[in-house]
Structure formats: structure tokens, C-alpha cells
Structure 1
Amino acid sequence: MDDDSPSARWEQRTEIPLFLASLVFLALYATRVLADGLPTGWRTLCWVTMVVLWMLFAVDYLMRWHLSGQRFPRFVRTHFLHTVVVILPLLRPLRIVPLYDAIQHRQGEPRLSLHARVIAYASLSTLLLGFAGALAVFQQERGAPGATMRTFGDAVWWAASTLSTVGYGDITPVTTGGRAIAMGMMAGGLALLGAVTGSFSSWLLQIFSRESDKRPPES
């Protein structure tokens, strides 16, 4: 049975608009980081728009807390991802699972199998996390004394090697902020890699099991 609680209705109505707002936030942040020659007026406009969008995320968080009927400490514990994306709005696009649920609630039954959805979620989350992490660490490292990350291309290469848990070590953060971002991306990379590997392995086991069931018994 579908959840018809006020909290569920709020999520279904706001998830898609807020996801689009999070993409706009990410695009504005990328513009501020990468567009060095951007006029001051445009940079200010980007900043003001980002603040307004963050306020929308904060209002959504407060509404979810109000509709949940929980005490605030308990709400924070039981809605950890909501809390993280309010503190770090660059990570808001990672909420693609409830976004997909909101879309399917309008369109009907899911069209992809569970394993395909897990792989798709994890893949898209990896791309979004890698791009956001590359932007954030590049902002921290750019111009720092002794920095080996000199271009955004270096930051993307570093993000890819970090999320894939390869870690070549040719480019490493030297600032405190950059290293803190690196720790978060290492944890995220391990979690996403584990989700994809586990789902793919389970899918293969199901296929092999079906093949085994179809074989005639040996005489």
C-alpha cells in the first residue's frame, strides 16, 4: 500500500523540483570555480542565487522534520542523508533514489529490475560525486603552496582515481580542506563500488542459478 502520510506527500511533490534546483546549484558553483574571468556582477548573482537555493533546501529540511512528528535529535539520526545534503548542498544531487521513487509513483511500476536500478543509481551517484568533489578540491588546492593540482583536469583525474580506489598518488591534496574532501570521497567511493560489485555479483548468481535449473538431470 502506498504511503499517504503528509511527509510522503510532501516528498512526492517536492523531490523533482528540488532535484532540479540542486543541479542549478551545482552548475552555479561550477561557474564560480571555473570561470576565472567572470565579471564581479555575475559572480555576485551566482552567489546570491546559490544562497536562495540553499534556503529552499533548508526550508524543505525543516518541513520534513515538522511533518515527521519526531524530536529534532531523533530526526537527525533517522534522516542522516537529509542532514548531510543541507550542510553540504553540493551533495544534494545524490538523492536520486527518492527522486526515482517519486517519478515511479507518478508513472506506475518500475521498468528496470532491482539490480539494474542499483547499478544505475550507483553509476550516476559516482559521476555526480566525482564532479562535485573535483570542483570542491580544485577550489581548495588552486594556488596553494606546493599544490600538484594545477588545473581542473588534474582535479577530475584525481577524483576518478580516488573514487575507483586506485589512488595513483601522482596528484595529492596538500591543503587541510582538500584532504578532508579526499577522505569523504574515499568513503563514498568504497560504498558505491561495493554497491555495484555486490549487485552485479548477485545478478550473475541469479543467471547461473537459472541456467542450472534449466539443465536436464544427469542420468
Structure 2
Amino acid sequence: MDDDSPLARWEQSTEIPLFAASVVFLAAYATRVLATGLAPLWRDLCAFVLLVIWVAFVADYAVRWRLSGQRFLRFVTGHFLLTVVVLLPLLRPLRIVPLYEVIQRRQGEPRLSLYARVIAYASLSTLLLGFSGALATYQQERGAPGATMTTFGDAVWWAASTLTTVGYGDITPVTTAGRTIAIGMMACGLGLLGAVTGSFSSWLMQTFTREGDAGPPRK
């Protein structure tokens, strides 16, 4: 039986609009970082859009907390990802799993298998973290004394090598904020790589097990 609580109804009605708002937030932030020749009016407009969307995220967080009926600290610890995306709005698209559940709720069982969903989610998360991390780090690094990250292309290359745990070392952040972002990306890269590898290995074992149980074809 579907959950018909006020919290569930709120989540179902707001998840899609807030996901769309998160995409707008990411686009506005990218515009401010990459469009260096942008007119002051448009830069102010982007800043205003970022502020309005962030306020909407905070309001959504507050409503979910009140509807949950939990104490604040318990709600924070029990909704870790939701808390993180309020503090770091660039990561809001990571909530694609609740979005997927909302879309599929009216269509019965999910169309994708568990392994496919994990791999797809981890892949999308890697792309999002790479792009967001490259933007945030590039904003901190450009113009810094001794910076090796001089273009956004450098930032994307650095983000890719960091998330994949390769770490060539040809481009490294020199600012405190850039290194802090790098630490988070390293941790996320290890987790996502482990999720994809583990899911793929489990899928292979399950496939081989089914083939072994089936046995050779009878004559």
C-alpha cells in the first residue's frame, strides 16, 4: 500500500520541480563562473536566481522536517543527502533516486534492475560531481598565485583524474578551498568506483550462477 502521509504527498509533489530548479541552479552557477565577460546586469540576475533557488531548497528542507515529526538532529542524521544538498546546492541533482521513485510510483515496479540502477546512478553522480567540482575548483584557483589550473579545460582534466583516483599530479589545486574540494572529490571517487565495481561484479556472478544452474542443454 502506498504511503499517503503528508510528508509523502509533499515529496511527490515537489521532487520534480525542485530537481528542475537544481538544473537551473547549476546552469546559473556555471554561467557566473565561465562567462567572464558577462555584463554586470546578467551577473546580478544569475546571483539572484541562485539565491532564490537556494531559499526554495531551505524552505523544502524545513517543511520536510516539520512534516516528519522528528527532532531536528535526528532528521539531519536520517536525511544525510538532503542535508548535504542544502549546504551544497550544486549537488541537488544527486537526488535523482527519489526523483526516479516518484516517476515510477504510478507505473508499478521499476523498469531497471537493481544493478542497472546502481550503475546508472553512480555514472550520473560521477558526471555531476566532476562538472560541479571542476566549476567550484576553477572558481577558486583561477588567478591564484602559482596556480596550475589556468583554464576550465584544466579543471575538467583534474576532476577526471581525481574522481578516477588516477591523480597524475600535473594539475593540482594550490588554494585552501580548492584542496578542500579535492578531498571531497577523492572520497566520492572512491565510493562511486567501489559501487560500480561491486554492482558489476555481483551482476556477473549472478549471471554465471544462473548459467551454471541451468546446466548443459539436454540432447
After TM superposition, the score normalised by the length of structure 2 is 0.97
Corresponding position of 2:9: 9
Q: 1:183 Cα shift?
A: 0.5
Q: Indicate the percent of aligned positions where both proteins have the same amino acid.
A: 78
Aligned residues: 217
Q: 1:80 Cα shift?
A: 1.1
**CA distance, structure 1, for counterparts of residue 108 and residue 200 of structure 2:** 25
Q: 1:135 Cα shift?
A: 0.2
Corresponding position of 2:32: 32
Root-mean-square deviation over aligned CA pairs = 1.0
Q: Which amino acid is 1:79 matched to?
A: H
Moved more, 3-12 or 158-167: 3-12
**CA distance, structure 2, for counterparts of residue 181 and residue 202 of structure 1:** 31
Corresponding position of 1:201: 201
Corresponding position of 1:162: 162
Q: Which amino acid is 1:200 matched to?
A: F
Corresponding position of 1:54: 54
**CA distance, structure 2, for counterparts of residue 49 and residue 108 of structure 1:** 36
Over 6 Å off, 4+ runs: none
Q: 1:106 Cα shift?
A: 2.8
Corresponding position of 1:79: 79
Residue by residue, what CA displacement relative to the aligned partner does 1:144-188 show, whole Å, maximum 9, x if unpaired? 000000000000000000110111111000000000000111111
Q: Which amino acid is 1:2 matched to?
A: D
Q: 1:216 Cα shift?
A: 4.2
Residue by residue, what CA displacement relative to the aligned partner does 1:4-48 show, whole Å, maximum 9, x if unpaired? 221111111111110010000000000000000000000000000
Residue by residue, what CA displacement relative to the aligned partner does 1:33-67 show, whole Å, maximum 9, x if unpaired? 00000000000000001100000000000000000
Q: Which amino acid is 1:68 matched to?
A: S
**Correspondences of 1:65-144 after superposition (within 5 Å):** 65-144=65-144
Structure 2 gap ranges (5+)? none
**CA distance, structure 1, for counterparts of residue 118 and residue 9 of structure 2:** 24
After TM superposition, the score normalised by the length of structure 1 is 0.97
Structure 1 gap ranges (5+)? none
